Amino acid sequence: MIFTIVKCLHMKKQIIKSFAWDVLKLVIPAFVGFLLAYITFSKQFDANEKDRLNGDLNKLLDVNLQYPYVEDSSFIAWWGNHESSNSDSSLRYQAYCEYVFNFLQNVSEYFKYDKEKITGFVDMGDLVSQHRGWWNMPEQRNSESYPSRFRDFIEKDFK
């Protein structure tokens, strides 16, 4: 009888080992597949995001070519004295500035606020200093549309 019990326990052990091995054979390939899919997706997402940023930068350049006054320091100085103007050029400049700072926010988030990487992609300091007047408007300074981390980044790193 003891022999039968020992034999039964041994068979249960074998069944448990066999079951564990079968589960392990399923889990390992599933994990490896998940890991490879995650890496592939991450790289593809990163490439897509960088392409989107390049597209946005090209849009900024297109606007500069179509409406050169949006980067003209004389016009910007005039605009600084006539912020409340509803002229076509003034409204276009304000929309352009909003696009510029939205773009800069996306770039900052993409590069995780690494100033060296950001300036390697776009001359952020030049854009910020050129359009600081718009950024310093009370409705921009009090706006919650930009995350505090981005606002602090602009204020601290691009004075």
pLDDT per residue as tens, the chain (159 positions) = 565 665 665 666 677 777 667 766 776 776 766 666 667 766 666 678 899 999 999 999 999 999 999 999 999 988 878 767 788 888 999 999 999 999 999 999 999 999 999 999 999 999 999 999 899 888 776 678 899 999 999 988 776
Model-level pTM?
Answer: 0.73
Cα of 24 vs its chain's centroid, Å: 38
Encoding tokens for residue 3? 């022999």
The H-assigned helical ranges of the chain are: 2-66, 73-81, 88-110, 115-121, 124-130, 132-135, 138-141, 148-157
**What is the pLDDT at residue 99?**
94
Encoding tokens for residue 155? 């204020």
CA distance 16 to 24: 12
